[in-house]
A and B are shown apart, each in its own frame.
Chain A
Amino acid sequence: MRRLSSWITVNPRSRSRHRLRPAFALLTALLWLAPSTLGAASFTATLDRESVTVGESATLTLRYDGGQPKTTPSPPTIPNLQVSGGGTSQSITVINGQFSASISQTFLLTPTQPGDFAIPALTVEIGGQVLSSQPLKLTAVKAPTSAADGAGDKLAFFKLFVPKKEVYVGEILSVEFQVYVRDGLANGEDILQGFDQFSGCPVKAEGVSIIKTAHAQRRRARLGNASYVVATLVTSLSPIKTGPITLGSMDVPLTLQIPLPNQRRRDPFDPFGMFQRMQVEERRVSLSAEPEILKALPLPRENIPATFNGAVGNFTMTVTAGPTNVAAGDPVTVKVALSGRGAFDSLALPEQNAWRDFKTYPPTTKVDTTDPLGLQGTKTFEQVVVPQSPDIKALPPVSFSFFDPDQKSYRTLTQPAIPLVVRPGGAAPAPVVAATTRAAQDNAPPAQDIVHIKPRLGAVAQIAPPLVLRPWFLALQAVPVLAWLSAVLWRRRAEMLANNPRLRRRRQVAQNIRQGLDELRQSAADNKSEAFFATLVRLLQEQIGERLDLPASAITDAVIEEHLRPRGVPETTLAPLQELFQTCNLARYAPIRTSQELAAIIPKLEAVLRDLREMKL
């Protein structure tokens, strides 16, 4: 999003007027030459404060959006209310190529007597449209005497200004938190700037709903013989319970710097005092405003309208509907705009029982506020209703009720019925589109209703935790891991054998001996003497050859004397080995033996082979 925004303030007394003139001309030209690109024109009047003390000023801002007014209006002459011109500012905003421009005109309103001052609706013509602002009310209360509270003696103090002491539950009240700083304080400007940057809520209270806080313009005030600069934070709040409510303020520790008198001592090196620092006395204080008691009244229980749904304030209502010539089942959009003063966030359209012949959908809302506290403005409800029958002749009257705290009574706004022409619904089926492009889908009109229910239940599943949280599924994931680990181990073993021929031969010989012993048992059982002894000799040769790292074919009974005895093989092994070799030699000459005799040789062979395997040669 590309955003270009500029603000230029035009003040008759401004020294930079000449520099601003080209920019002002450009803005004016844009306003005049591009009215078609601007948004809809609007005109609003707002006050920065609703209550002031006599002698103080409130700022009235007239804002023109979407065009330049043909003639700029001024507030009418009101007895006991001084009106002085403030300034004019213009702004142009360009967002994604869309212009939005506004002109603001300010006036200072200063009451000279206490009382309520009604500022009537002002009318202006913008781009051929005649627009009116909302009427406003300014309350002026009597200024407290400085002798009463001794304010003129204080260097700085806080004050809570509550315009009225009795409010109804749900009513919006603007409470001012005023910061008084006496002229001449060395760090007075720093203190005031600190409050200008404060963004929290200065009012502390229980039983109220804090809505919003905004800064009002700084002003000057005179109390007794002292002159003060006053910074004001306005907080809007609404009681949520009945009974007395104590409004307090935040407690702020401050360091006040008071210039010392006769501080200028003549310095021969600085005759003009240019490099001399102001000598001050620092005084640490903790400031808080005197608490104020507010009485929250319950809403009357008598004469509550049927359509009252909790709205408190002062509202007007306009209702439009379109299209008014439809077929049964076609949607009609009803726009209900509630304008005035109140808590717009909680403002809801009451249920319209008279709309029972219509299918209704929940409304969408839009809030446009015109003051910094968001208490004045318009909330627009856009509701789609669908006439169900061609017998319907009108949209029933729309009603909205609220409690007006000024009149202390309930009020009901009712707009008359809007005539409708409802034709019988068309029976022709909608054409079937064989294929749609993406662009066509994107440009498709928004759906008017939800897709109908599904006639078939479809796949039914048991409610179960997801796979990733089921133990069997997690255990199953170990299978590929184990497969990979097994492959790695198998590969390692194969490589180890490939790099160690003796180990490979030892394992091969061990396998051959296991197979050979089976063959021996089979030969003994079959009484095959010749095969039996041939295998026996082969097994002895392989085992001894492996142990001595000699070829098996080179092993004869001579190996006993040549290799085994010199290497310290015990006689308990050599003797049976010698006997086995001799038995084999004898078998060549007397090969026929019984199966039992042959089987008896096998344990001896196994013992010799075991001894040879376990021996360290």
Chain B
Amino acid sequence: MRGNVTTGRSFRLGPAKASDRAPGRGRRVATAVVLFTILWLTPWCSRAALSTAAFELANKLYEEGKFAEAAAAYEKLGQSGQTAAALSFNLGNAHFKSGQIGRAIAAYRQAERLTPRDPDLRANLQFARNQIQGPTLAPSRWHRWLGRLTLNEWTLLAAGALWLWLLLLAFLQWRPALKPALRFYVLGLAILVVILAACAGAALRQARFTRTAIVTARDAVVRFGPLAESPAAFTAHDGAELRVLDQKDDWLQVSAGPRRTGWLRRDQAVVAGG
């Protein structure tokens, strides 16, 4: 370990002595670590700089009223493997201003996964949903409450509670005399773990296993069967959010309520979640 420490003596000028060998090796190691760190961070920094420049360029297009071009620029930025709440938010705004409510809602929902408590985002999402005509699935009060935290936040809360509970149990094995005094804390933490784990599970189910089709066509005819010749069941309009029940070829089986189920062409909607 001594060799890894860089001391003032290692910078001394003059011929190296036998006793200087260890600090010299440390200096080389330190240099290698610094170089490695720089090489590792460089692509990240340059990518972030690229993203910022492209983002500001897209913002400029938006301010000039070129909403469709701005939306394309934001979408291209989002294909770089990076994501940001502001990026999805602005993409939603650009789509909304282009008159594409469905795509706007899909983008807002994407941003909601990152910053669910952003008041601007909540206002715009609600405003966009207010524009929807015809059948659509409004999020229930439970889903709205669950959506106040991201899936990762629910996961960390549940994991934190689990850690606390198990470490408290381990501590009580070490100090069993404290068991009576801490009994209620153990019970309370256990209940908290169960509740938070259930919430995390529900959030996971909502985010990964519940698929929602957001209609992007102006008027999408939902049919009784997955065929263009099937009779129309109802018409869903741009922005309508429908639960996806099944999929067959290029058709999605969707539901807008207990008695509103049918098949929607895949190219008339974007699918969120799952």
Any chain B CB within 8 A of the CB of A487? yes
* Distance in Å: Cβ of A308 to nearest Cβ of chain B: 15
Assess the A453–B123 pair: CB atoms within 8 A: no
Q: Which of A434-477 contact B (CB under 8 A)?
A: 446-447, 449-463, 466-469, 473, 476-477
Name the A residues within 8 Å of B170 (CB-CB): 480, 483-484, 486-488
Name the B residues within 8 Å of A362 (CB-CB): 99, 101, 131, 133, 238-239
Name the B residues within 8 Å of A241 (CB-CB): 229
Name the B residues within 8 Å of A447 (CB-CB): 123, 127
Assess the A345–B234 pair: CB atoms within 8 A: yes
* Distance in Å: Cβ of A336 to nearest Cβ of chain B: 14
* Distance in Å: Cβ of A127 to nearest Cβ of chain B: 31
* Distance in Å: Cβ of A366 to nearest Cβ of chain B: 9
Assess the B84–A457 pair: CB atoms within 8 A: yes
Chain B 72-88 near chain A by CB (<8 Å), digits 1 or 0: 00000000011111110
Assess the A451–B155 pair: CB atoms within 8 A: no
Instruction: Tell me, in angstroms, the Cα distance from A52 to B44 when the chains sit together.
Output: 78
Name the A residues within 8 Å of B94 (CB-CB): 453
Assess the A451–B151 pair: CB atoms within 8 A: no
Assess the A453–B89 pair: CB atoms within 8 A: yes
* Distance in Å: Cβ of A389 to nearest Cβ of chain B: 14
Tell which of A453, A458, A477 touches B93, judged by Cβ atoms closer than 8 Å: A453
Whether A451 touches B120, Cβ cut-off 8 Å, given contacts A345-B235, A362-B99, A487-B173, is yes
Instruction: Tell me, in angstroms, the Cα distance from A241 to B200 when the chains sit together.
Output: 50
* Distance in Å: Cβ of B241 to nearest Cβ of chain A: 15
Q: Which of A193-224 contact B (CB under 8 A)?
A: 206-210
Assess the B82–A463 pair: CB atoms within 8 A: yes
Assess the B155–A459 pair: CB atoms within 8 A: no
* Distance in Å: Cβ of A557 to nearest Cβ of chain B: 46
Assess the A484–B123 pair: CB atoms within 8 A: no
The size of the chain B interface, using a CB distance under 8 A, is 60
Assess the B208–A466 pair: CB atoms within 8 A: yes
Instruction: Tell me, in angstroms, the Cα distance from A364 to B133 when the chains sit together.
Output: 6
Instruction: Tell me, in angstroms, the Cα distance from A108 to B151 when the chains sit together.
Output: 64
Instruction: Tell me, in angstroms, the Cα distance from A473 to B207 when the chains sit together.
Output: 18
Assess the A461–B82 pair: CB atoms within 8 A: yes
Most B CB within 10 A of own CB, among A363, A449, A459, A468: A468
Instruction: Tell me, in angstroms, the Cα distance from A458 to B59 when the chains sit together.
Output: 14
Q: Output the nearest chain B residue to A359 by Cβ-Cβ distance.
A: B97
Chain B 160-181 near chain A by CB (<8 Å), digits 1 or 0: 0011001101110110100000
Any chain A CB within 8 A of the CB of B219? yes
Any chain A CB within 8 A of the CB of B152? yes
Instruction: Tell me, in angstroms, the Cα distance from A477 to B167 when the chains sit together.
Output: 12
Any chain B CB within 8 A of the CB of A361? yes
Which of B13-21, B24-32, B48-56 interfaces with chain A?
Answer: B48-56
Any chain A CB within 8 A of the CB of B261? no
Assess the B231–A208 pair: CB atoms within 8 A: yes
Instruction: Tell me, in angstroms, the Cα distance from A454 to B81 when the chains sit together.
Output: 20
Assess the B81–A462 pair: CB atoms within 8 A: yes
Assess the A468–B166 pair: CB atoms within 8 A: no
Any chain B CB within 8 A of the CB of A346? yes
Name the A residues within 8 Å of B85 (CB-CB): 458-459
Assess the B173–A490 pair: CB atoms within 8 A: yes
Name the A residues within 8 Å of B124 (CB-CB): 450-451
Assess the B163–A480 pair: CB atoms within 8 A: yes
Any chain A CB within 8 A of the CB of B263? no
Q: Is the interface of B mostly helix, strand, loop or mixed?
A: helix
Q: Which of A211-244 contact B (CB under 8 A)?
A: 240-241
Instruction: Tell me, in angstroms, the Cα distance from A364 to B162 when the chains sit together.
Output: 48
Q: Output the nearest chain A residue to B224 by Cβ-Cβ distance.
A: A210
Name the B residues within 8 Å of A365 (CB-CB): 133-134
Any chain B CB within 8 A of the CB of A142? no
Instruction: Tell me, in angstroms, the Cα distance from A491 to B128 when the chains sit together.
Output: 60
Any chain A CB within 8 A of the CB of B114? yes
Any chain B CB within 8 A of the CB of A317? no
Q: Which of B124-155 contact A (CB under 8 A)?
A: 124, 127-128, 130-131, 133-134, 151-152, 155
Any chain A CB within 8 A of the CB of B255? no
Name the A residues within 8 Å of B99 (CB-CB): 362
Q: Which of A473-504 contact B (CB under 8 A)?
A: 473, 476-477, 479-481, 483-484, 486-488, 490-491
Name the B residues within 8 Å of A486 (CB-CB): 170
Instruction: Tell me, in angstroms, the Cα distance from A73 to B155 when the chains sit together.
Output: 69
Instruction: Tell me, in angstroms, the Cα distance from A521 to B108 when the chains sit together.
Output: 77
Any chain B CB within 8 A of the CB of A131? no
Q: Output the nearest chain A residue to B151 by Cβ-Cβ distance.
A: A466
Assess the A456–B86 pair: CB atoms within 8 A: yes
Tell which of A346, A446, A480 touches B235, judged by Cβ atoms closer than 8 Å: A346
* Distance in Å: Cβ of B79 to nearest Cβ of chain A: 10
Tell which of B93, B156, B232, B238 touches A452, judged by Cβ atoms closer than 8 Å: B93
Q: Which of A84-143 contact B (CB under 8 A)?
A: none
Assess the B59–A207 pair: CB atoms within 8 A: no
* Distance in Å: Cβ of B132 to nearest Cβ of chain A: 9
Q: Output the nearest chain A residue to B87 by Cβ-Cβ distance.
A: A457
* Distance in Å: Cβ of B159 to nearest Cβ of chain A: 6
* Distance in Å: Cβ of A217 to nearest Cβ of chain B: 26
Q: Output the nearest chain A residue to B207 by Cβ-Cβ distance.
A: A466
Assess the A467–B152 pair: CB atoms within 8 A: yes
Any chain A CB within 8 A of the CB of B251? no
Instruction: Tell me, in angstroms, the Cα distance from A460 to B162 when the chains sit together.
Output: 29
Instruction: Tell me, in angstroms, the Cα distance from A19 to B2 when the chains sit together.
Output: 107
Assess the B173–A459 pair: CB atoms within 8 A: no
Q: Output the nearest chain A residue to B83 by Cβ-Cβ distance.
A: A463
Assess the A466–B159 pair: CB atoms within 8 A: no
Any chain B CB within 8 A of the CB of A348? yes
Name the A residues within 8 Å of B48 (CB-CB): 460
Name the A residues within 8 Å of B66 (CB-CB): none
* Distance in Å: Cβ of A109 to nearest Cβ of chain B: 32
Assess the B219–A346 pair: CB atoms within 8 A: yes
* Distance in Å: Cβ of A479 to nearest Cβ of chain B: 8
Instruction: Tell me, in angstroms, the Cα distance from A574 to B200 when the chains sit together.
Output: 70
Instruction: Tell me, in angstroms, the Cα distance from A569 to B20 when the chains sit together.
Output: 63
Whether A466 touches B166, Cβ cut-off 8 Å, given contacts A450-B127, A461-B83, is no
Whether A467 touches B155, Cβ cut-off 8 Å, given contacts A447-B127, A483-B167, is yes
Assess the A477–B173 pair: CB atoms within 8 A: no
Name the B residues within 8 Å of A468 (CB-CB): 151-152, 155, 200, 204
* Distance in Å: Cβ of B13 to nearest Cβ of chain A: 45
Name the A residues within 8 Å of B219 (CB-CB): 346, 348
Any chain A CB within 8 A of the CB of B266? no
Name the B residues within 8 Å of A460 (CB-CB): 48, 51, 82-84
Assess the A206–B51 pair: CB atoms within 8 A: no
Any chain A CB within 8 A of the CB of B90? yes
Q: Output the nearest chain B residue to A449 by Cβ-Cβ distance.
A: B127
* Distance in Å: Cβ of A180 to nearest Cβ of chain B: 27
Instruction: Tell me, in angstroms, the Cα distance from A334 to B85 when the chains sit together.
Output: 35
Assess the A457–B86 pair: CB atoms within 8 A: yes
Tell which of A364, A457, A467, A483 touches B55, judged by Cβ atoms closer than 8 Å: A457
Instruction: Tell me, in angstroms, the Cα distance from A89 to B235 when the chains sit together.
Output: 35
Name the A residues within 8 Å of B114 (CB-CB): 461
Interface pairs A-B: 3 shortest CB-CB: A487-B173, A480-B166, A487-B170
What would 8 A/B residue contacts be, using CB atoms closer than 8 Å?
A: A364-B130, A458-B85, A466-B208, A473-B155, A480-B166, A487-B169, A487-B174, A488-B170
**Given A446-B130, A488-B170, 11 new contacts (CB under 8 A):** A346-B235, A362-B99, A364-B131, A450-B123, A453-B94, A458-B85, A460-B83, A466-B207, A481-B166, A484-B167, A490-B173
**Chain B residues in the interface with A (C-beta under 8 A):** 48, 51-52, 55, 59, 62, 81-87, 89-90, 93-94, 96-97, 99, 101, 114, 120, 123-124, 127-128, 130-131, 133-134, 151-152, 155-156, 159, 162-163, 166-167, 169-171, 173-174, 176, 200, 204, 207-208, 218-219, 221, 229, 231-232, 234-235, 238-239
